[in-house]
């Protein structure tokens, strides 16, 4: 895909209480702040704050991919075992391909901190239409966990302990026909096979 295609990222916070005005949403600001630090490619965001209602989540994800033409959609919230947690079900329902490796790695990262991370049901899918595709990923609800999941864990010397999931995102977006995404290696070094690398922008 041409470099001049605008990168569009959807940010969805799924929360009954935040969407109802009981408290201020923290998920979307945390996602936006991290992406601003991590991406060197210009991008535009589409944000949605919605309740834990499966039909609403499904409709929002479809709208962001099919109408808003997002290349990447990140959700936060609604991934636990509680009765109202239905984000993974909605995500799988709108997906064309499941990408289970993302959820597996998210749990590996979170298990470094809390044993209850095993209760998380985060997943990822590719949604494909006739002329467009996007990667949709479910992330944790807490800002600290969002950063750890995307960025991974490093020791005091800056060496990687557990890799974050975002390192694989740019190449995944390449493979589904999206814009070429570049990152700041100090935050998250994107990995691509040598054959998929492009010369650095000047």
CA distances for 46 relative to 55, 111, 174, 175, angstroms = 19, 31, 20, 22
Say if 85 falls within a structural domain.
Answer: yes
Q: Name the residue range of residue 167's domain.
A: 7-193
User: Is residue 2 situated within a structural domain?
Assistant: no
Tokens found for residue 104: 């597996």
Match 């990408």 to its residue by tokens: 99
Does 202 map to a domain?
no
* pLDDT values of the chain reduced to their tens digit, one per residue, 202 residues: 545 689 999 999 998 888 778 788 899 999 999 999 999 999 999 999 999 999 999 999 999 999 999 999 999 999 999 999 999 999 999 999 999 999 999 999 999 888 999 999 999 999 999 999 999 999 998 999 999 999 998 777 777 788 899 999 999 999 999 999 999 998 999 999 999 998 865 5
Please report the pLDDT score of residue 158 as a whole number: 75
* CA 50 – CA 53 distance, rounded (Å): 8
Q: What is the pLDDT of residue 157?
A: 78
Q: Is residue 200 part of a domain?
A: no
pTM: 0.94
Number of domains in the chain: 1
Which pLDDT score, from 0 to 100, does residue 199 have? Answer: 81
Backbone angles phi, psi at 162, to 5 degrees: -135, 130
The CATH number linked to 57 is 3.40.980.10
Strands (E), the chain: 7-14, 43-50, 72-76, 97-98, 124-128, 133-139, 152-154, 160-163
Q: Is 81 part of a structural domain of the chain?
A: yes
Query: What is the Cα–Cα distance from 185 to 180, expressed in whole angstroms?
Result: 15
* 140 close to 103: Cβ distance less than 8 angstroms: no
- pLDDT attached to residue 3: 55
Q: Note whether residue 1 is domain-resident.
A: no
What is the pLDDT at residue 201?
59
Q: Decide if 162 is inside a domain.
A: yes
């Amino acid at each position: 895909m041409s470099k001049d295609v605008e990168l569009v990222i959807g940010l969805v916070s799924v929360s009954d209480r935040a969407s109802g005005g009981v408290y201020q949403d923290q998920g979307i600001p945390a996602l936006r702040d991290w992406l601003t630090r991590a991406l060197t490619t210009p991008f535009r965001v589409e944000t949605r704050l919605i309740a834990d209602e499966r039909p609403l989540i499904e409709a929002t994800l479809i709208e962001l991919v099919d109408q808003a033409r997002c290349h990447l959609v990140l959700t936060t919230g609604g991934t636990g075992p509680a009765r109202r947690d239905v984000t993974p079900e909605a995500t799988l329902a709108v997906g064309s391909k499941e990408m289970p490796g993302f959820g597996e790695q998210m749990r590996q990262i979170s298990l470094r901190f809390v044993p209850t991370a095993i209760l998380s049901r985060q997943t990822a899918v590719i949604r494909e239409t006739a002329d467009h595709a996007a990667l949709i990923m479910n992330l944790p609800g807490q800002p600290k966990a969002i950063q750890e999941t995307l960025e991974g864990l490093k020791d005091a010397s800056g060496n990687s302990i557990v890799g974050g999931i975002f390192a694989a995102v740019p190449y995944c977006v390449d493979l589904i026909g999206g814009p070429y995404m570049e990152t700041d290696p100090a935050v998250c070094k994107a990995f691509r096979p040598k054959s998929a690398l492009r010369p650095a922008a000047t």
